[in-house]
Amino acid sequence: MTINQIIKNTAIMLGLSDVVELIESKPSKTELRRNDNYVLLLRCINLVASNIASNYRPLETSETLSTTAGNRIDFSRLSHSVLKIMDVRSPVTNWRVPFTLFTDHITVSNPGSFRVIYTFVPHFETGNEYNPFQFSDEVLTYGTAAEYAFINGMFSEAQVWNIKLENLLFNTKRKCGENITMPATFRR
């Protein structure tokens, strides 16, 4: 499901008919950006995705990059916002390469190409992206509804959506056989 479909489902649950009608009309990116409710829902879904990736289900990827001067690999050259560098490996031998971590880059001892394995925070800009998490779209829908309601001062409604989110996350973890510890960021 695309992010716009998740935003549409959230708008239906929240009674935001202007957003539903807008998405159904297949608007341009500029038209979407003119709707304040759509923009806020997109911000909310990014916040929820960030919380999930940071506290619940990290998204991992790898990219092969060449070092620059000083044997650096700048995070700005990676495709996603880095959450945590997991490993650096030789793309030829797959051997681990020692690295030094800095706030905006890593350094390695020798120049060359290296495969950087990292977790990242997704960021949705157009609404045409797909849900990157390996669980149901309802997680993002409920989380977005909770954040939107909270931001707009609808605290009891935010609590209802947050409880639904927590229950869904709890059941997802239980089905996967994982230890069940809910992140504090979803508790209000």
pTM: 0.79
| Residue pLDDT, tens place only, 21-72 | 999 998 888 888 899 999 999 999 999 988 888 887 888 999 999 999 999 9
- List CB contacts of 70: < 8 A, sequence separation 6 or more: 107
Cβ(47)–Cβ(147) below 8 Å: yes
φ, ψ for residue 152, nearest 5 deg: -90, 10
Residue 155 token pair: 């605290």
Distance CA 85, CA 114 (A): 13
> Which amino acid would we find at residue 24?
E
Tell me the per-residue pLDDT of 118-170, one tens digit each, with 9 for 90 and over.
Answer: 999 888 887 888 877 776 789 999 999 999 999 999 999 999 999 999 888 87
Residue spans of the domains in the chain: they are: 3-57+133-186, 59-121
* Dihedrals phi, psi of 15, to nearest 5 degrees: 75, 30
Q: For residue 126, give the amino acid letter.
A: T
